[in-house]
């Protein structure tokens, strides 16, 4: 079996596992790109348990991209206080102003990449979860899972290895459930396929 075949072969069993074992999180079960995007930005370098109360408060006060675009900076920083990396909150608001001015959330992976603070992982997560685009969302957990499944021996922290895995993942995302597939990989990497496991 090739590396690509090994990765492709896990889609069906992985989705079956996810359907039975997925974590219940407040940003799951929605395809609202705003909610998916905010959760993904909050989860950058922050544990899920720490994000949960912040996400709820944020959504109670800023339930739409327009509300985020309009909130004053002092209140924005107060809502973010304790999550750290404050540039994430500032970039969220910069992007919200762009989205609000455009009148719609960008739907393509490429357009999402053009937003302040949105990199390949976040663009892939939002595009696949909110818009059903078959693009990967490759974070550290997904790199680790993919490397183990494909039986790659390279250091996943090496930029060349990361690009290679990203390329393999491009061909592995099932077109019928891309968002669920990406979330399944995230859950598997966060709960089962742990570092040094």
Which are the catalytic amino acids?
40
What's the Cα-to-Cα distance from 106 to each of 59, 79, 88, 100, 181, rounded to whole Å?
A: 20, 25, 19, 11, 21
Task: Record the tokens describing residue 171, joined without a space.
Answer: 């061909």
Q: At what angle do helices 73-80 and 48-61 cross, to 10 degrees?
A: 150
DSSP state of 192: T
Find the helix packing angle between 120-131 and 178-191, rounded to 10°. 130
Burial of 25 (0-12, 13-18, 19+ CB in 10 A): middle
Is 112 within 8 Å of 126 (Cβ atoms)?
Answer: yes
Largest Cα separation within the chain, whole Å, is 55
């Amino acid at each position: 079996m090739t590396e690509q075949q090994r990765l492709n072969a896990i889609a069906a069993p992985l989705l079956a596992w996810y359907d039975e074992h997925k974590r219940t999180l407040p940003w799951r079960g929605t395809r609202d790109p705003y909610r998916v995007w905010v959760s993904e930005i909050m989860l950058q370098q922050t544990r899920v348990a720490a994000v949960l109360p912040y996400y709820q408060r944020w959504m109670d006060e800023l339930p739409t991209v327009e509300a985020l675009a309009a909130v004053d900076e002092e209140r924005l920083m107060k809502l973010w206080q304790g999550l750290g990396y404050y540039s994430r909150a500032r970039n969220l608001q910069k992007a919200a102003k762009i989205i609000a001015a455009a009148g719609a959330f960008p739907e393509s992976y490429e357009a999402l990449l053009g937003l302040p603070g949105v990199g390949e992982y976040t663009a892939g997560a939002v595009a696949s979860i909110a818009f059903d685009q078959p693009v990967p969302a490759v974070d550290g957990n997904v790199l680790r899972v993919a490397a183990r499944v494909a039986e790659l021996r390279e250091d996943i922290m090496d930029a060349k290895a990361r690009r290679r895995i990203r390329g393999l993942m491009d061909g592995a995302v099932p077109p019928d459930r891309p968002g669920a597939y990406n979330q399944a990989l995230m859950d598997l990497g966060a709960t089962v396929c742990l570092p040094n496991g």
